[in-house]
Amino acid sequence: MASLSAERQSNYEMLRRLIAAKVSIVYVVSWEEERVLDTLRDVAAKAFASPVPFFTWSVTEGVSLEGVEDPETREPLAALDHVLSRKGSALYAFKDLHAHFGDARVVRRLRDIYQALKAVYKTIFLVGPRLVLPPDVEKDVAVVDFALPTLVEIDEIFHSVAVAFPKATIAMNDDERAEFLKSLAGLTADEVRSALTRLFMSRKQIDMGSSDLLQEEKRQIVRKSGILDFISSHVRYEELGGLENLKEWLKLREHYFSSEARNAGLPMPKGVLFTGISGCGKSLCVQAIAAAWHMPLLRLDMNLVFSGAAGTPEAALGTAVRTAESVAPSILWVDEIETAIVGTGRAGGGADTRIFSTFLTWMQEKKSFVFVAATANEIDALPPELLRKGRFDEIFFVDLPTLDERQEIFAVHLAKRGIDPRGLEILSLAQTTMGWSGAEIEQCVVSGIYEAYGQRRALDMSDLYKATSRMVPLSTTMAERIKQIKRWADTRAVKASRGGEP
Ligand SMILES: Nc1ncnc2c1ncn2[C@@H]1O[C@H](COP(=O)(O)OP(=O)(O)O)[C@@H](O)[C@H]1O
Ligand SMILES: [Mg+2]
């Protein structure tokens, strides 16, 4: 517990250090404006030899000191002038100043402030949920993330809400309570409070079963972010034909996210990268992980990131990462990650690379329970830094299925459509379909079923043979390309399949 209370001090400490270092302008990225302001107020009152005056500003209140507002300073320019002209040390917190960045004078004044405050103990904090900065001042502003409530703080909130509902019974032992609190980790203090209040209002008894309700809360948060899709996956490992190496690897890590694993000092899993030939089950694997690990699956829409609809690509990616962290433990699914790098025809290729390296840095340093599952088809487009040891826990190569795997895939897709595979010569089908992908095998089963249905009779081998004879698999039309991919993967990735003849 000692480390947790230390962690609790971390926002306070971080802010104190910035002020002590005479940083002029700090951008605090947080959804929790009140919590940021409370912490700043605390720092101003206690962190230094004598208390430092703490001013807040908003467009409705103007500059305000301990509740006393100055209506003359409602205009952002007047407020910034207040910062410039006031003598002595002070701290300022500006709410939503970003709404005024369209005004060139505001931007100019910020730059003046940057110069003027360098030498004095005066710091201005810009507080907002997303990072919005005009390029002109980017270099002058220190950007920090405000950490979300720790388990100790969540426990305090739980306690304060529970006190308000004296009739409710709390049926959890200490371990269960710890697990329960963890399911709230990642929410802001306000979100924790409102989720718990809703829970206490709707239940007489609070127990482990109550965490379902919290899951729904998280779904809402993801939806609001607008950049991630919350995917409910029910894909079971049995629906995944072959890929035994991969399945074994995943099963070993099923409990990586439990508190026992943390206590045992196991390293935090970072994620996996699935590379390989298209249609061989990479996306399916990601869905199977989410279902097996009972974690929310959040698909990042790369095209949306680059479209500008969710702000600059940097801001959009930042929102995505923070949202994934806020509902952690979660799986962040970056499908076809190469689209982020190749950036075909997109303007400013340099920007793409920069965004990507921001993402890599986040992956490298992340301490949150976010497991990244990325897939890539165009593997030779991937930059070497992505493949460096330490980024992903493992890079898997998902190859065209082997003979045994093709039998399994046929069986999976027949069974899925209510056909007992035991009545069919699966081995023979697998032999005829050498070089076919899982997607192509599925396609073959589907067209066989249509064929039989067209003649109003049960599916038999002739339908399936007919379907196989009509299809030319990708591995034939793209033989050269597939050879290249295999050669690439030979030295860089672990095979997802156990092997065997092709
Ligand atoms: N190993 C497999 N087992 C069962 N079905 C598979 C397998 N590989 C591919 N499929 C089928 O093909 C479809 C497409 O696969 P997908 O995971 O999207 O391929 P990728 O992401 O590698 O391009 C899947 O939805 C599934 O129906
Ligand atoms: Mg895919």
> Where are the extended beta strands (E) located within 37-89?
54-58, 62-65, 68-70
CA–CA dist 28, 6 (Å, integer): 21
Task: Check residue 180 and give left, alpha or beta (phi > 0: left; psi -120 to 50: alpha).
Answer: alpha
Per residue in 437-463, pLDDT (tens digit) is 999 999 999 999 999 999 999 999 999
- pLDDT tops 80 at residue 352: no
Query: Which ligand minimizes its atom distance to the CA of 442?
Result: 1
The CATH number fitting domain 230-397, selected from 3.40.50.300, 3.30.70.890, 3.30.230.10, 1.10.150.110: 3.40.50.300
Q: Report percent pLDDT > 90 for the chain.
A: 44
- Ligand 1 pocket residue status of 283, Cβ below 6 Å: yes
Question: Quick check: 441 and 433 in contact, CB under 8 A?
Answer: yes
What does pLDDT average to over the chain?
Answer: 86
Measured in Å, how far apart are the chain's first and last C-alpha atoms? Answer: 54
Whether residue 108 has pLDDT greater than 90:
yes
What's the gap in Å between 33 CA and the centre of ligand 1? 45
- pLDDT given for residue 8 in this prediction: 45
Which atom number of ligand 1 is nearest to the Cα of residue 242? 1
In the predicted model, what is the mean pLDDT of residues 101-105? Answer: 91
Q: Which atom of ligand 1 is the closest one to the Cα of 401? A: 1
Mean of the pLDDT values across residues 469-486?
Answer: 91
pLDDT given for residue 347 in this prediction: 44
CATH number of 2-145: 3.40.50.300
Alpha-carbon distance values, 84 to 56, 72, 110, 284, 443 (Å)? 15, 15, 10, 58, 69
**How does strand 271-276 pair with strand 68-70?**
unpaired
Answer yes or no: is the C-beta of 442 below 6 A from any ligand 1 atom. Answer: yes
Distance 439 CA to ligand 1 centre (A): 5
Q: How many Å is the Cα radius of gyration of the chain?
A: 28
Sorted by where each begins, the domain ranges of the chain are 2-145, 151-211, 230-397, 403-477
Cβ 240 under 6 angstroms from ligand 1: yes
Q: Counting atoms of ligand 1 from 1, which one is nearest the CA of 277?
A: 22
β 297-300/330-334 pair status: parallel
Residue 472 structure tokens: 């030319």
Per-chain residues with Cβ under 5 A from ion ligand 2: 282-283
- Which of ligand 1's atoms lies nearest the C-alpha of 276? 22
Task: Report cis status (omega within 30 of 0) of the bond before 401.
Answer: no
Fold of the CATH domain 403-477: Helicase, Ruva Protein; domain 3 (1.10.8)
| Residues 404, 427: Cα–Cα separation, whole Å | 8
pLDDT at position 105 over 60: yes
Q: Is 282 in the pocket of ligand 1 (CB under 6 A)?
A: yes
Whether 2-145 and 403-477 share one fold: the answer is no
- Segment 330-342 shows an average pLDDT of 83
Distance separating alpha carbons of residues 306 and 316, to the nearest angstrom: 8
Determine the pLDDT at residue 26: 93
Pocket test for ligand 1, best of 440, 442, 445, 495 (most atoms within 8 A of CB): 442
CB 287 within 8 A of CB 235: yes
Shortest-distance Cα residue to atom 26 of ligand 1: 439
For ligand 1, atom 17, name the residue with the nearest CA: 281
More confident site: 261 or 93: 93
**The pLDDT value given to residue 309:** 78
Please report the pLDDT score of residue 343 as a whole number: 53
Quote the crossing angle between the two packed helices 313-326 and 349-365, to the nearest 10°: 20
- Compute the distance from residue 274 Cα to the ligand 2 centre, in Å: 9
Could you tell me the pLDDT band of residue 1, with boundaries at 50, 70 and 90?
very low
Per-residue pLDDT reduced to its tens digit, 232-260: 778 999 999 999 999 999 988 877 766 66
pLDDT of 468 > 90? The answer is: yes
Helix (H) or strand (E) holding 106: helix 104-116
CA of 298 to the centre of ligand 2 (A): 15
Residues 289, 295, 297: CA angle, nearest 5 degrees: 75
User: Which atom of ligand 1 is closest in space to residue 408's alpha carbon?
Assistant: 3
For ligand 1, is residue 62 a contact (CB within 6 Å)? Answer: no
Any atom of ligand 1 within 6 Å of the Cβ of 412: yes
Position in ligand 1 atom list of the atom nearest CA 241: 3
Closest by CA position to 287, among listed 412, 194, 375:
375
Q: Please give the distance, rounded to the nearest whole angstrom, from the Cα atom of residue 228 to the centre of ligand 1.
A: 22
Question: Residue 439: CB within 6 Å of ligand 1?
Answer: yes
* Closest residue to atom 12 of ligand 1, CA basis: 439
pLDDT per residue as tens digits for the range 282-305: 999 999 998 888 788 999 988 888
Q: pLDDT confidence of 350, banded at 50, 70, 90?
A: low
